[in-house]
Structure 1
Amino acid sequence: MTFRRMDQMSKRPVRKTGLVKMAAAVAGLSAGLFACGAAFAEKPMAVIPKETIYPGTVIEASQLQEVEVTNPNLTGDYAHRTDEVAGKITSRTLLAGRVIIVTALRDPYVVERGKAVRIVYSNGPLTITAGGAPLENAAVGDLIRVRNTDSGIIVQGTVMQDGTIQVVTK
């Protein structure tokens, strides 16, 4: 194995070998395929409501329509598929024929403020349960404050799928 100084390498003329020619051909071919693929790519889709949907309403799939996006300047985080929107609750008025911005949607509340819930504390084999009253509305996975109805102490916990609150230790 021999090593040469870089200044000597730059003075020598570069010869095109078969490998260099093949690399150039592959690069040209892949660029052509990429351009062809872009022409046949699917156009983006957007979800629009068929009718005006008011805040607090659970959105059903029958109220929605998927349309092809014709405006190339449309940017933002809008819904692309019906399943992204169906079953969610809107926090803003959604006008018919306008794209649905994803930030205007939220998951349905599992826990409602003031309604009785079960508080669960687990630490290894020890599990303590108590009754509680949430101090705010929350969906699954939200961190909320809950007042223990027996002692009056306020604790923080995560809302679970079954509606219980898993207490977070400090």
Structure 2
Amino acid sequence: MMFRLMKNVFRSKETVPVALCFLLALTVPALAAQRFAIVPTDVIYPGETISSGKLDRVEVTNPNLIGGYASDMDQVVGMLSTRTLLPGRTIPLSSLKKPYAVTRGSQLRIVFHIGNLTISAAGTPMDDANIGDVIRVRNLDSGQIVSGTVMADGTVQVKAK
């Protein structure tokens, strides 16, 4: 039914310019909606921090490519890769993660607050962790292992049992 209506529209000479404007209006947004993707220029290995020097922004020419890939440099720069990323291939957002705030084996401060009393000691985390994660930390002075929450300043806050 729709095709018959369009066929009748093109028979009338005064409606041809209107029909052409209609078709042009359909194609212009498609041209304006260019999609871009971020692709590596070099091989990026798992656990590697991604720098802007290893990335390029390219236009997506495959109409069958659906979302789920990085389209902006801010989504990728400074993140850690969880798998090998090949040059010229899109970067799936699922293969990126935030870098750890605390890494296993490094040194940090263990802080314990109770009322006005604050106790601080040197410690080493037993696991990698992000801000807000609960991890186990070994007190370097006593050898005791305690659990605490990773804070934004890189310390681990221990709570009373």
TM-score (norm 1): 0.66
Q: For residues 169 and 45 of structure 1, what CA distance do their matches in structure 2 show?
A: 51
Structure 2 residue corresponding to 1:64, chosen from 36, 45, 55: 55
2:131 to 114, 119, 140: 140
Range with bigger deviation, 72-81 or 49-58: 72-81
1:98 deviates by 0.7
Give CA-to-partner distance per residue, 1:32-56, whole Å, 9 cap, x none: xxx7895465333211001111223
Q: Which residue of 2 aligns with 1:29?
A: none
Instruction: Return the alpha-carbon distance in structure 1 between the equivalents of residues 112 and 29 of structure 2.
Output: 54
* AA partner of residue 41 (structure 2): K
Contact 2:39 2:91 in 1 (8 A): yes
Matched, 1:85 2:76: yes
* Residues 40 and 91 of structure 1: CA distance in aligned 2, closer, same or farther (over 3 Å): same
C-alpha displacement of 1:126? 3.2
The equivalences for 1:1-170 within 5 A come to 38-39=29-30, 42-168=33-159
Q: 1:162 deviation in Å?
A: 3.0
- Indicate the percent of aligned positions where both proteins have the same amino acid: 51
Q: Which amino acid in structure 2 is aligned with residue 133 of structure 1?
A: T
* Cα separation, partners in 2 of 1:73 and 1:139, compared to 1, 3 Å: same
List runs of 5+ in structure 2 lacking aligned partners: 1-25
Q: Is the 8 A contact 2:39 2:57 kept in 1?
A: yes
Q: Which moved more, 1:67-76 or 1:87-96?
A: 67-76
TM-score norm. by structure 2 comes to: 0.69
Looking at structure 2, the residues matched to 74 and 167 of structure 1 have their Cα atoms a distance apart, in angstroms, of: 48
Q: What letter matches 1:98 in structure 2? A: R
CA–CA distance in structure 2, aligned partners of residues 160 and 64 of structure 1: 31
Structure 1 unmatched runs, 5+: 1-34
Deviates more, 1:151-160 or 1:62-71: 151-160
Alignment-derived partner of residue 19 in structure 2: none
C-alpha change, 1:141 and 1:40, in structure 2 (3 Å) is farther
CA RMSD of aligned residues (A): 2.8
Question: How many residues in Structure 1 have an aligned counterpart in Structure 2?
Answer: 137
